[in-house]
Amino acid sequence: MSAVGQGRESQGSGPSASKTAQRPERMLTLLSVATGVVFAFIGSTVGALYLGLLSGLPVDAGAGLFPSHPYLQIYGFIALFVMGVDYSLLPRFKVGRLPSVAFGYAAYALVSLANVFFLLYSVLPASFPYVTAGAFLMLAGSVVFLSQVVILVLRPSGGFPEANPLIMLSSVSLVVLSLLLGAGSSGFPIPGGTFSPQMVYLALVGFAGSMIYAVEIRSVSFRQCNYRKWAANLCWALQGLGIGAIFVGVVAANALASLAGAILLLGATLSELASIKILELAHPLMYRPAMTKMHFRIMRYNEVCILLASGWLLVGSVLGIAWIGTGSGVFLVKDSFIHSVAIGFVGSTITCFAPMLLPGLLGHKGPVTGLSFGPIAVLNVGVLIRVVGDFQTLTTSSPPVWESLSGPFILAAMVWFLVMIRGVGKPAQAAVKAPPKFSLAESRGVAEGKLTVTTRRTGRQVTLPIWFVAQGTTIHLAPVNGSATNWYRNVLKNGSVKIAIAGHDCAGTARATQEKDSVKRVMGLFIDKYGDRNCRNFFGDRVDAVVSVQVA
């Protein structure tokens, strides 16, 4: 995605083309995500082996580790993955930096150590309270994480204020979840235990779901839909009420409060889907004239992943309401709810956004080659086998043997996905060709140029990045702050300018105008090239003047 707005410091009309300095939180992101994936492989492998045992296969390897399986999946994989991405993504949302990288590493160390204790819980004798120790390490790590999030979210910079409450709710949910886990493992009575439907709701829908909602609303430009603000606001309001009701249901052992919370969270889900216009077809990506086959592939990839993730979330929400409403741990409802949300929803969402976000967060290019529908297809086949097999238990005393295929499918999807990630961002090898002769008519595929103007006071020349639209032999420019923009004032004093596009220089005399019809017409050309969403976010309603340059 374009880093819209980063060029304002120089008062240009486009984002800076210079490479950003290596951000220190990138290594923290890479470390957290990698560690989370390790815990995911351990947890998923143990879960797959145990499912095979339940299905009647003669395998007991790893069965003793199964008590650690849910801990590693929720507090290892999901928690570390979400936190790791957040440490790079949230500063970008706020056009700033992480408040303290050291605190970020502290949170990573605490959460990672907590999961080591959860793993030891299944390996070593129960002479030490491993779960309790891990729970309070999780609590300490989540409090540190929350402090970082609060500082970032309260910064006035960054758009999309509707996403800020969801980001806060996510980190608060992790703190509440860790606190309840510590209390439950220390003897506090939690109905249904530390993996009751309420606790799973707080983990998967409260923590992971809130952050996913925020990222989807913020990153809806992947699908090029203009999100509905009223629905986004309703989403975080219902999400907050739902999380609060679930918490009350746990602490007060009130089944009605828990059921109300599950229904409120379903309402938040529907509001979020309405906000990102889930039922609309995806529109072209940002620079519409520059669309390539890869752009269309990205567009369809995002749409397929988000639709599948949303479908599983709705299925899981209905199952979760049934689980809480009946107050029973029926294998069908419990297992299908957990895997629909944890693997179907969260897994499909990670499969969607990771190839788009991780390369940029780590300083690499976005998808150029290597993007495959294979991992998302195999992952969803694995979840489907699991859920259909769970329904089979209505007529049998144990899961069918073929349900054990679910685990290998999910593991295969994870491996394929990691292999795919390695290839994302690497340009395809192509034969070296002589560069074609540049034509201004072909510049529609170029997102950014460089404008050189003469300063009105010192007479020296300055160059800055700028967005532009070419029409015939005329280049149109739009000052980001309208007639108050510094370079626009320089042009009024000296109209001789140069514009570099894709390494080719164009020179001419700039003609400025504040005539409303002309401004409206030129801004229409910008919207056609860069997309309505980008133009509204970057220019807002500040453009009251435009500049046209006739070049040879």
Structure tokens at 172: 């608060």
- Contact of 108 with 117, CB cutoff 8 Å: no
pLDDT for res 193 = 78
Phi-psi domain of 291 (left: phi exceeds 0; alpha: psi -120 through 50; beta: other): beta
Cα dihedral 169, 229, 215, 145 sign: negative
pTM of the model: 0.74
Q: Is the CATH number of domain 440-551 2.30.110.10?
A: yes
The domain locations on the chain are 23-158, 159-279, 295-424, 440-551
Q: How confident is the prediction along the chain (552 residues), in pLDDT tens digits per residue?
A: 333 333 333 344 444 333 334 567 788 888 998 899 898 888 888 777 777 777 666 666 556 677 888 888 899 989 999 998 888 888 877 767 788 889 999 999 999 999 999 988 887 867 788 889 999 999 999 999 999 999 988 887 776 788 899 999 999 999 999 999 998 888 887 777 778 888 989 999 999 999 999 988 887 655 555 678 899 999 999 999 999 999 999 888 888 999 999 999 999 999 999 988 887 755 554 445 556 677 778 778 888 898 999 999 999 999 989 888 876 667 778 888 989 999 999 999 988 888 877 776 656 666 656 788 999 999 999 999 989 988 887 777 777 888 888 889 998 998 898 888 877 765 555 445 555 555 666 666 787 889 999 998 888 999 988 888 888 888 999 998 889 898 999 999 998 999 888 778 888 889 999 999 999 999 988 888 887 777 877 787 889 999 999 886
Cα dihedral 49, 55, 60, 64 sign: positive
Among candidate residues 508, 520, 509, 524, the one with its CA nearest the CA of residue 545? 520
**Helix-then-strand count for the chain, H and E:** 18, 7
User: What are the E-state strand segments in 145-248?
Assistant: none
- Contact of 366 with 356, CB cutoff 8 Å: yes
> Please, which residues have CB within 8 angstroms of residue 514's CB and are 6 or more apart in sequence?
483, 544, 545
Structure tokens at 416: 């394929």
The SS3 assignment for 464 reads: strand
End-to-end C-alpha distance for the chain, whole angstroms? 33
- Contact of 190 with 183, CB cutoff 8 Å: yes
- Contact of 302 with 357, CB cutoff 8 Å: no
Angle between helices 348-361 and 406-423 (to 10 degrees): 20
Residue 516 has, within 13 A of its CA and on its CB side, a CA count of: 1
Among candidate residues 369, 377, 371, the one with its CA nearest the CA of residue 347? 377
**CA atoms of 94 and 168, how far apart (whole Å):** 14
